[in-house]
Structure 1
Amino acid sequence: MISLMNAIAIVRPDDTWGAQFEKTAEVIRRILGDTALRVDHIGSTSVPGLAAKDILDIQATVATEPELDDAVERLTTADWEIRPARRDHPVPGLPTDEIQWVKRLVVEPMYRRRVNLHLRVDGRANQRYALLFRDYLRAHPDTAAAYGEFKRRAAALKFDTVNDYADLKDPVCDLIYLPAEEWAGRTGWAV
């Protein structure tokens, strides 16, 4: 469990987050090589105009579960640090099979731009969730603004750990994700 040293800080949107992602993604692609099928900017910093913690969330997609461990090995060799998260929370209405929620989480080398790098398997529910959540918020700025306000208010609460903050956000994200599924079906959205 990661202890909170400082309060969670939600900052104003930064127009340079996209460029910061591109620079960091290039580093990740060099480290992972063909192991990464794709590298995507996800999370709040990937949504224009959305307030966020000043930490880039990035998803690297691999083809199989053994490649998750290969990717972690490549990244830790390059001084990235593995974190304990080994799965995402299951989402109501989506597959409950544990395999759908497996992931690895690594963070940037010391003294580099803050990054949470989520490693997930192609085609699994959690890999799709991150991309659809991002795209739905990009297409629905009023929903993104409401989510940003929730995050600001949630960050003002006292938490013992970052995980406690994330646990509070999970059902709110699911409330956004569930209509995103309907939107995806209606618009023909695909990963």
Structure 2
Amino acid sequence: MAFRIVHYSEAWPGEFAIVRSQLLAAFGNPSVRIEHIGSTSVPGLCAKPVIDVLVGAQSLESIEEAIPRLAAAKYEYVKKYEVELPMRRYFVRPESPGLRIHVHAVNIGSEIWNEHLAFRDALRSNTRTREAYAQLKLELARIHADDKAAYTAAKAPFIRQVLRSSASAIASEG
């Protein structure tokens, strides 16, 4: 499937704020945490025009209870990905003027939760890492222009290395 990488947009944080409000209303639970993740959450980083959202809840059951309310807010529950990641519930809001919304709902403190936030924070705080990732993304998008799955898989070694470096830095600070 073809995809595109675009320059960073100053509009993305505002788009996330709107989505965050919708999700808070749909979950109706003040203990839910909602974070902007993915490349659109990193100022200056090129990205696919997709707002990735990480929702953290106390349990998968509380996430599943919100499925009807999320559907009413136009978020489609994609159950098939549970085979791959059984501890995540995944939702998509179909494209609205050139922008998709992907919602990854997990338990707060889970490995998925921690890794997504650690990678985002590493890109936000380290210019060299962010620039290297941008270059890699552009090169991989050129090589895998018609294969989003191959593009995503090819980024994995870089992401793992950043996560290892982040974990090492945290361990040495502690």
- TM-score with structure 2 setting the length: 0.87
Matches within 5 A, 1:13-92: 13-34=8-29, 37-83=32-78, 84-86=80-82
Matched letter for residue 63 of structure 1: Q
Conserved 8 A contact 2:40-2:49: yes
- Give, in whole Å, the separation in 1 of the partners of 2:155 and 2:173: 26
1:73-98 Cα deviation digits (max 9, x unpaired): 32123321122322767xxxxxxxxx
CA distance in 1, matches of 2:9, 2:95: 22
Contact 2:91 2:102 in 1 (8 A): yes
- The equivalent residue for 2:122 is 136
Specify whether residues 137 and 8 from structure 1 end up closer, same or farther in structure 2 by C-alpha distance, changes over 3 A only: same
Distance 2:139 2:95 in 1: 30
Whose strand fraction is larger, Structure 1's or Structure 2's?
2
| Change beyond 3 A, Cα 1:133–1:33 | same
- Within 1, Cα distance between the matches of 2:148 and 2:66? 24
Shift of 1:53: 0.7
What value does the CA root-mean-square deviation take over the aligned residues?
2.2
How many residue pairs get aligned? The number is 172
Q: d(CA) in 2 for partners of 1:45 and 1:28?
A: 18
CA shift in 2, pair 1:77/1:35, >3 Å: farther
Amino acid at match of 1:144: R
How far off its partner does 1:62 sit?
0.9
Give identity over the alignment, percent: 27
Q: Distance in 2 between matches of 1:86 and 1:123?
A: 19
Unaligned runs of 5+ in 2: none
Equivalent of 2:139 in 139, 145, 153 = 153
Runs of 4+ in structure 1 deviating by more than 6 angstroms, as ranges, are none
**Aligned counterpart in structure 1 of residue 148 of structure 2, from 153, 157, 162:** 162
Contiguous gaps of at least 5 residues in structure 1: 90-100
